[in-house]
Amino acid sequence: MSQLPSAKALQHLVDETFQQFHGLPGGENASYIPYLASVPDELAALVIVTANGDVYQAGDIEYRFAIESISKVATLALLMEDVGPEMVREKIGAEPTGLPFNSVLALCEHHDKPLSPLVNAGAMASVSLLKADSAEQRWQRILDVQRRLTAGNVTLSDEINESEQTTNFHNRGIAWLLYAAGNCFCDPMEACEVYTRQCSTLVTCKDLAVMSATLANHGKNPISGEQVVTPENVAPILAEMTMEGLYDYSGDWAFEVGLPGKSGVGGGLLAVVPGKMGIAAFSPPLDESGNSVRAQRMIAQVAKSLNLNLYG
Ligand code: GLN
């Protein structure tokens, strides 16, 4: 792998890219979760954290937003520690669904097997498969891994959690379908409730970049120095991200950018450059697949400028 440019050049790239795309028109805040509809849509940030812990950032870097589906990566990492990659593949899967992240049709077409831990069905199945004796323990283990992956002050937002728990009827339906097929491994309403909480934590864009840099650094968090993920588990996590990290846009993202990524409907997006860096961007307006419009453009630009495409 080629060397990275100087610190000055990297900060310049982050500043320029942010300036170019932070006001890009297009997309809309997620509205099916009431809280997300109310987040100011002009917010934006871009952060690089290298595998040795150097940080380059621009924009609304203090703003804390809902992690949403990016939490699925943290729970997947924890589940891999608990049961190993092969069990994840057997019970949940490692294929793209080609359908929206909350698709019931995707389940119906595959005997109610989720196919991916990065869609809602597979994420709830992942929560249910974690080693835990109670809902509270399940939740605390997830919050703990979010904190260890980000080395950040990740906390639950009661406001977002309330907003999601009182409107998550579709996800409850999915949890019951999983349970009926034997693919939910705890009480389905516990799986849905804890999954909803894991989506309702607050993170900064830097938190996401550190999480991504941890995966880039073979599972060792470059800020805290902690080995959070067993090195052998990193490649299957990145494979799952490649297949489904941006939902039904994952193929296009691989085609254009060539980096494993993960988005959330809170407007966050991260991409992993193995051995080199984590890149994260944030801005609330989403495209039709539920991926942040501006975050995609910012990360694509950084990847292109630095020649980071893994297939390149
Ligand atoms: N909490 C959201 C949901 O379950 C997360 C979805 C997402 O970020 N794609 O629908």
Residue 312 lies in a domain: no
DSSP secondary structure string for all residues of 226-241: -B-S-HHHHHHHHHHH
Atom of ligand 1 nearest to the CA of 247: 9
Percent residues over pLDDT 70 in the chain: 99
Whether 161 and 196 have beta carbons less than 8 Å apart is answered as yes
**Whether 155 and 173 share a structural domain:** yes
Mean of the per-residue pLDDT values of the chain = 97
Whether 280 and 47 have beta carbons less than 8 Å apart is answered as yes
Point out the domain boundary residue: 198, 226, 256: 198
**Whether 158 and 260 share a structural domain:** no
Residue 165 lies in a domain: yes
The pLDDT tens digits for 229-248 are: 999 999 999 999 999 999 99
**Whether 211 and 295 share a structural domain:** yes
pLDDT at 164 over 70: yes
Contacts of residue 54, Cβ cutoff 8 Å, sequence gap at least 6: 7, 10
Q: How confident is the model at residue 3 (pLDDT cuts 50, 70, 90)?
A: confident
**Looking at ligand 1, which residue's alpha carbon is closest to its atom 6?**
69
Residue 1 lies in a domain: no
The pLDDT tens digits for 152-162 are: 999 999 999 99
Percent residues over pLDDT 90 in the chain: 98
**Whether 82 and 186 share a structural domain:** yes
**Looking at ligand 1, which residue's alpha carbon is closest to its atom 4?**
120
pLDDT at 301 over 80: yes
pLDDT at 54 over 90: yes
pLDDT for residue 40: 97
**Whether 186 and 220 share a structural domain:** no
**Whether 83 and 158 share a structural domain:** yes
CA–CA separation, 202 vs 63, rounded Å? 9
pLDDT for residue 2: 60
HSE toward the beta carbon, residue 161, CA cutoff 13 A: 13
**Looking at ligand 1, which residue's alpha carbon is closest to its atom 2?**
68
> What does the pLDDT average to over 270-289?
98
Going from the Cα of 233 to the center of ligand 1, the distance in angstroms, rounded, reads 24
Residue 231 lies in a domain: yes
Point out the domain boundary residue: 198, 221, 246: 198
Residue 68 Cβ inside 6 Å of ligand 1? The answer reads: yes
> Across the strands, what pairs with 281?
46, 269
Atom of ligand 1 nearest to the CA of 101: 9
**Whether 226 and 294 share a structural domain:** yes
Residue 163 Cβ inside 6 Å of ligand 1? The answer reads: no
**Whether 188 and 132 share a structural domain:** yes
Residue 2 lies in a domain: no
Going from the Cα of 17 to the center of ligand 1, the distance in angstroms, rounded, reads 27
Residue 310 lies in a domain: no
CATH of the domain at 239: 3.40.710.10
> What does the pLDDT average to over 93-98?
96
**Whether 208 and 180 share a structural domain:** no
Going from the Cα of 68 to the center of ligand 1, the distance in angstroms, rounded, reads 5
pLDDT at 1 over 90: no
Cα dihedral 162/167/169/174 (nearest 10): -70
Point out the domain boundary residue: 175, 198, 221: 198
Domain count, the chain: 2
pLDDT for residue 183: 97
Q: Which domain holds residue 107?
A: 71-198
**Whether 105 and 188 share a structural domain:** yes
Choosing from 65, 72, 265 the residue with most ligand 1 atoms within 8 A of its CB, the one to mutate for a pocket test is 265
**Whether 83 and 190 share a structural domain:** yes
pLDDT for residue 48: 98
pLDDT for residue 104: 96
